[in-house]
Structure 1
Amino acid sequence: MSGIHARHWPGDPDRPALALHCMLASGGYWGAIAEALDGRIDLKGFDMPSHGRSDAWTPGEGDPDFHTAVTRIAASFINRPLDLIGHSMGAVVALRIAVAAPEAIRSLTLIEPVLFAAADDPAQKAQDEAMARMLAAGQIEDATRSFIDLWGSQPYDALPPRAQAQMRDRIGLIANIADTQCRDSANILRPGGLEAIEAPVMLIAGAESPPVIAAIAEALAARLPDVGRATVPGAGHMVPITHPAEVAGLIGVNLDRA
């Protein structure tokens, strides 16, 4: 897809890396983490369509869903084995790539992956259903507030009006990725898929995140051959933004393991 804003934080040319951001944000927040890693990796990223400085996502007839579109964009950045890092939806995209092409991954760091299909969590299902109802009824602000209050780094009502408007404009994309994240339409959890990832994996979570995150991490860790888990005290879902130094340190641990 054209109109994708790429980002680059130069570092060791022998350690190419790619970082994938979460929904309703942009790739810019990896900058603080790249700075803390101090050139250990040559880090690239991009703003997803309709995010940051990238063009709006305007799919035509027969085009893939948003999750698949982002996965294909991410895959286009990979031309040799690299360190792959993802947060939230970006972590699900990273895992999707690792399952499809494990030979392309040198290390895999998954920060708060929201692959809800991996864990049977009634509270999360109720949240998803409530949000779907609000979107279907055209209650855009209520849906956005519900999502940000649960997953954001600060409440929706604390955001400046411009940021609130940006969130409302993009909230419909959350419903578009539900088939992948809630029902695993991409078949990420297929038998033998996770087990084929030989690269070291690090699962990072915020201690204050919704309980479903720990359940997802536990389910994934049980199937990954080489996995470490870490929890950042005092952090929630947006841990790469609120605790970049801690996240960079944990990414560094996983780099060492590779």
Structure 2
Amino acid sequence: MPYVVQGDGELLLFVHGSLCDYRYWQPQVSGLSKHYQCVAVSLTHYWPAAGTPADMPFSWSRHADEVAEFIRRFGAGPAHVVGHSRGGCVTFHCARRHPRQVRTLTLADPGGPLQVAGRPPAKLPEPVNALRARAAQLIEEGDLDAGLQLFVDSVSRPGFWAKSTAAFQRMAIDNAHTLARQFRDPLPPYTPEEAAQVRCPVLLVDGEKSPLMFRRTAETLASWLPDARRQTVNGASHGMNLAHPAAFNRYVDEFIRSAGEGRAG
């Protein structure tokens, strides 16, 4: 996986979500590299190595294992891992499957449905699936702007795409080819049993204005995980680390330091 690295200290690894790549974390890599060795990766299939073979599976499960393998090969782990949106689900399963590679885990608006006991198998609501299918169709037809606007506004808030910076829009356009593949690889539901397998300290971060599904997931996971705490970035929606990077960076730094004090104690 392509990556950027800055700073010295304990390894702090950032994993992006939908339509993004390592550029998404620039405010975190710059701001936190004073205290950590910050590494942001681009998952397989994403820019700048977007030309993967058509027969190479696009898989959240493979991504989870690849993140663990990256940490192992990088040689500075275990890592403090931060995942956003779809990347939150990827890193959740990375920490569950590969506990030796993950020292702490920060999940920012983690993506994926919740499986609550006694309820039917969890899946995204049909209107959401229909919207995503339409977004993928528009992109495959060449209408990138309309397709990206439809999807990005649905996971943040109406009007977010139009107000996004040119850099964010360029990044999303560079990764638009992943969206249809992503929809064919739906994220698995979170379960209490799997949450109990994540033994490292976990910080759950949501945005005050994030869509309800993300805030509900953060709240529920906080009650399921063995060692969890929560923070909310005021005034922010789904892209809280970009909207208010100073607050987001402070929460991550304070969490890692407090987790380290707990280990020392």
**What TM-score results when the alignment is normalised by the length of structure 1?**
0.81
Name structure 2 gaps, 5 residues minimum: 261-265
Match of 1:28 in 2: 23
Name structure 1 gaps, 5 residues minimum: none
Question: 2:129 and 2:250 mapped to 1: Cα distance?
Answer: 33
Question: 1:57 and 1:69 mapped to 2: Cα distance?
Answer: 17
Q: CA deviation at 1:5?
A: 2.4
Question: 2:69 and 2:20 mapped to 1: Cα distance?
Answer: 21
Q: Which aligned pairs between 1:51-200 and structure 2 lie closer than 5 A? A: 51-52=46-47, 54-61=48-55, 63-79=56-72, 80-118=77-115, 125-136=126-137, 140-141=143-144, 142-151=146-155, 155-158=160-163, 167-168=172-173, 170-178=175-183, 181-182=186-187, 184=188, 189=190, 192-200=193-201
Q: CA deviation at 1:127?
A: 2.2
What is the RMSD of the two structures over their aligned residues, measured on CA atoms? Answer: 3.1
Tell me the number of residue pairs that the alignment of Structure 1 and Structure 2 aligns: 247
User: 1:66, 1:173 within 8 Å by CA — same for their partners in 2?
Assistant: no
Q: Secondary structure at the match of 1:193?
A: helix
Distance 1:234 1:67, change over 3 A: same
* Identical aligned residues as a percent: 23
Q: Secondary structure at the match of 2:231?
A: strand
Distance 1:158 1:117, change over 3 A: same
Q: CA deviation at 1:198?
A: 1.8
Q: Secondary structure at the match of 2:172?
A: helix
**Which stretch of the first structure deviates more once superposed, 243-252 or 142-151?**
142-151
Distance 1:125 1:98, change over 3 A: farther
**What TM-score results when the alignment is normalised by the length of structure 2?**
0.79
Question: 2:107 and 2:13 mapped to 1: Cα distance?
Answer: 12
Distance 1:128 1:57, change over 3 A: farther
Match of 2:263 in 1: none
Question: 1:240 and 1:124 mapped to 2: Cα distance?
Answer: 27
Kindly provide the amino acid, as one letter, of the partner of residue 90 in structure 2. Answer: V
